[in-house]
Amino acid sequence: MKIAVVFAMEEEKDAFFKHFDAVEAIKHDGLLYYRLSHKTHVIHCMQSGIGKVNAAYRTALFLRENPYDILINTGIAGGVDTDLLSLVLAKTLVYHDVDVTAFGYPHGVIPEYPAAYETDASLLGTFRRTFEDTPYLEGTVASGDQFMTSVAPLQKTLERHPDLKAVDMESTAIAQVAYRENIPFLAFRIISDVLGSPTQVSDEASVEKATLKSGEALRRFIDAL
């Protein structure tokens, strides 16, 4: 299987690479990505940078570079009424900062696109089987171009998606590209900070633990493919 993986940050990428001895860096037409082999899989990894535009732009270039069987996004995220270091599987992905309700669209919906991006059913099943003996949360992950420090601005999103578990700045944009490119997509995140916590932006130890856990979870998932 040929697997594409997108990380937002270097720390997330490096946490996954700790599990492998040989990683080859490839640069082509200004796009830097990394190649490794594991079992019968060829895995290409790319660091998109933070934010929706970076994520969408570099993911689109990445997918055009090679044909892939599946696309995975993982890393860390902010928790919505969840515990630190929780594993969150995105069953659906939405935007929390898109608003064209003036034209009759539901909050978070981009015209001519789905109300929510769904995780591929087959990958969802594989994830559930892989982590059936491990506590994890399953629900909605919302993306936007803000580092959220309060649940208050998310009320409209929570009204439409009461199972909201986490927020980040990339995964829904990557899901939208996967939708456009018709490639099976899966996203899961580890909670590195909890919205509203007094230590949300200063708990570096939890961020480090979360990145390491995301790398371990990705390795475990790929082992199960």
pLDDT, tens digit, 9 for 90 and up, residues 85-99: 999 999 999 999 999
Mean pLDDT score, 176-198: 97
Q: Distance between CA atoms of 24 and 6, rounded to whole angstroms?
A: 16
**Segments in 72-203 forming alpha helices (H):** 121-130, 155-160, 171-181
What CATH number does the domain located at 2-224 have? 3.40.50.1580
Mean pLDDT score, 12-30: 94
pTM, 2 dp: 0.96
Domain boundaries, the chain: 2-224
Contact 126, 40 (CB under 8 A): no
pLDDT at 153: 97
pLDDT, tens digit, 9 for 90 and up, residues 28-84: 888 999 999 999 999 999 999 999 999 999 999 999 988 999 999 999 999 999 999
pLDDT at 201: 84
Residue 220: CA atoms inside 13 Å, Cβ hemisphere, count? Answer: 17
pLDDT at 184: 98
Residues designated as active site: 12, 193
pLDDT, tens digit, 9 for 90 and up, residues 137-177: 999 999 999 999 999 999 999 999 999 999 999 999 999 99
Q: Which residue has the higher pLDDT, 113 or 65?
A: 113
